[in-house]
Amino acid sequence: MHMVSLGNSGPKVSAIGLGCMGMSGMYGPSDRAESIATIHAALDAGITLLDTGDFYGMGHNEILIGEALKGRNRDQVQLSVKFGALRDPAGAWLGYDARPNAVRNFLAYTLQRLGVEYIDVYRPSRLDPNVPIEETIGAIADMVKAGYVRHIGLSEVGPDTIRRAAAVHPISDLQIEYSLVSRGIEDEILPVCRELGIAVTAYGVLSRGLISGHWQKDAAKGGDFRAMSPRFQEGNIERNLALVEALRRIAEAKGVTVAQIAIAWVAAQGHDIVPLVGARRRDRLAEALGAQAVRLDADDMSAIESAVPKGAAAGARYPEAQLVHMDSERQR
């Protein structure tokens, strides 16, 4: 596994990370034993970066990762944790809280659930509109000084917020959606990150399975985020799956899978971009890891661009009710 620096100020991490959200119910039921086996398989394959959020399954995901890490060398794993999202007992989303005292409170519970003494990269999940980003980053910086956090990251914020945050404390990376069908960061956000030496940890590299090559129309059931995601709705899903079939022809000509060529495309956008693969089964993880061997030349990149042009996806990447909370979208 190739290792890269997570920005100018961040740790050395594996060139591919494992996003663990799907192991805690966001995409329907998951198997606990298989989830833990998948985390173990990822660590054995050389993946060191595990990404989670304290609100994934209302703490379930952190507890799961903590169980999977028992007996492992803590110093060989980088834990990336998002905080701030508020949920009720039924799982509904209630907004965000990034006040300094909330930062300290969320962190205390995260350390306990994960069973660790520090978090490698700690980040607000979204910009709290009621709290200046300087106050939130300042509170995390205090936790860095206290030894509870090693590095500070951001998530789904725009250029102005990135600059303001970086003026308070070095920022290791921005976590944001980036894929062949979600390329909004390219015009303004990515250039600012590169100017400031901030890496990008890219989630949604397969657009929640949409461009994995495995998705079929009407596959989303109750309890699955995709059942309400615009790109999976009638009228959009047909157009989007047509893009996948165009991509499949290119992948098959290279002897690789659709998922592998989609992940390889993200990785090919720069050494400062770390794809997070959301595998929750070992077979899907093995397929994703195969993307490391895929080399895309100029002709390949041109063919992919023709098959899936920028802006070709039908539907927004989140429902409107969630987009309004995303600073990264407002800044564009």
CA distance 303 to 297: 10
DSSP 8-state symbol, 121: E
How much is the CA Rg of the chain, to the nearest whole Å? 19
User: Is 162 in contact with 175 (CB distance < 8 Å)?
Assistant: no
Q: Are strands 93-96 and 85-87 parallel, antiparallel or unpaired?
A: antiparallel
Catalytic residue among 27, 56, 178, 203: 56
User: Is 308 in contact with 138 (CB distance < 8 Å)?
Assistant: no
CA distance 116 to 233: 41
Neighbours of 231 (CB within 10 A): 21
122 is catalytic: no
Q: Output b/e per residue, 60-87; b: 16+ Cβ within 10 A.
A: bbbebbbebbeeeeeeebbbbbbbbbee
Backbone angles phi, psi at 272, to 5 degrees: -90, 10
Would you name the residues annotated as active-site residues?
Answer: 56
